[in-house]
């Protein structure tokens, strides 16, 4: 394709993008903070029954009927010490904290539709997976599990979930 054709395609695409974006703004869909059905608003939740957020993030963000639970570490309730030393103990602590957060919003593990598992060592996957299966007995959520170079606080595991009510 020559540069004139590419330029016309880009201009047409930009015009279409601007037109659609304007239409979305006109109907209250793009960037609205109102409370309507098409609202893009979000609500921040937290529970005092789990350690407080460590840094500039929210424990739970609700957008419509979807809840995003930030990465959970295996910390004690005060957030000052690691809960457990083995992958089994740490996985159990993380999933217990997630359960507390879910219940604080009137949900259970059955509401979880996606989980993101970050592990220090994938050689411990089988042990983690055994504990994980104790919490997600039926209709397990979609899941991505990755090994990372380092987990905050030098934990062995961190899990973030998305739930739908």
CB 163 within 8 A of CB 111: yes
Q: Residue 26 belongs to what domain range? A: 1-38
Please state the pTM of the whole predicted model: 0.77
Q: What's the distance, CA 3 to chain centroid?
A: 43
Q: Do 32 and 47 fall into the same domain?
A: no
Q: Do 25 and 59 fall into the same domain?
A: no
How do residues 32-74 score in pLDDT, each as one tens digit? 334 445 557 999 999 999 999 889 999 999 999 999 999 999 9
Q: Does residue 16 register a pLDDT over 80?
A: no
Pairing, β 142-147 against β 112-119: parallel
How do residues 138-156 score in pLDDT, each as one tens digit? 999 999 999 999 999 999 9
Burial class (CB in 10 A: 0-12, 13-18, 19+), 81: exposed
Q: For the chain, how many structural domains are there in total?
A: 2
Beta bridge partners of 68: 61, 162
Q: Do 33 and 106 fall into the same domain?
A: no
Instruction: For residue 25, name the pLDDT band (cuts at 50, 70, 90).
Output: very low
Q: Does residue 8 register a pLDDT over 90?
A: no
CB 139 within 8 A of CB 110: yes
Q: Do 135 and 105 fall into the same domain?
A: yes
Q: Does residue 107 register a pLDDT over 90?
A: yes
The larger pLDDT score, comparing residue 21 to residue 86, is at: 86
Q: Does residue 20 register a pLDDT over 60?
A: no
Beta-strand runs (E) in 18-129: 43-45, 60-63, 66-72, 112-119
Average pLDDT of the segment spanning 109-113: 98
For residue 54, the model assigns a pLDDT of: 84
Q: Do 106 and 62 fall into the same domain?
A: yes
Q: Do 33 and 104 fall into the same domain?
A: no
For residue 1, the model assigns a pLDDT of: 44
Residues ≥6 apart with Cβ < 8 Å to 121: 87, 147, 156
Q: Do 88 and 150 fall into the same domain?
A: yes
Q: What is the token pair recorded at 95?
A: 């999933």
The larger pLDDT score, comparing residue 2 to residue 9, is at: 2
Q: Do 61 and 109 fall into the same domain?
A: yes
Q: Do 32 and 110 fall into the same domain?
A: no
Q: Do 25 and 56 fall into the same domain?
A: no
How do residues 115-144 score in pLDDT, each as one tens digit? 999 999 999 999 999 999 999 999 999 999
Q: Do 54 and 117 fall into the same domain?
A: yes
CATH number of the domain to which 123 belongs: 3.30.1330.40
Q: Does residue 21 register a pLDDT over 60?
A: no
Helical axes 87-104 vs 125-135, angle rounded to 10°: 30
């Amino acid at each position: 394709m020559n540069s004139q054709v590419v330029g016309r395609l880009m201009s047409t695409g930009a015009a279409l993008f601007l037109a659609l974006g304007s239409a979305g703004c006109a109907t209250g869909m793009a960037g609205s903070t109102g409370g309507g059905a098409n609202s893009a608003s979000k609500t921040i939740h937290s529970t005092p029954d789990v350690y407080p957020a460590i840094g500039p993030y929210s424990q739970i963000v609700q957008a419509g009927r979807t809840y995003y639970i930030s990465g959970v570490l295996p910390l004690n309730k005060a957030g000052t010490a690691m809960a457990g030393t083995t992958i089994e103990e740490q996985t159990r602590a993380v999933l217990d904290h997630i359960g507390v957060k879910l219940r604080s919003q009137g949900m259970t593990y059955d509401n979880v539709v996606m989980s993101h598992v970050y592990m220090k060592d994938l050689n411990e996957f089988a042990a983690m997976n055994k504990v994980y299966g104790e919490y997600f007995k039926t209709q397990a959520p979609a899941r991505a599990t990755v090994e990372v170079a380092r987990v905050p606080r030098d934990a062995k595991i961190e899990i973030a979930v998305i739930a739908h009510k």
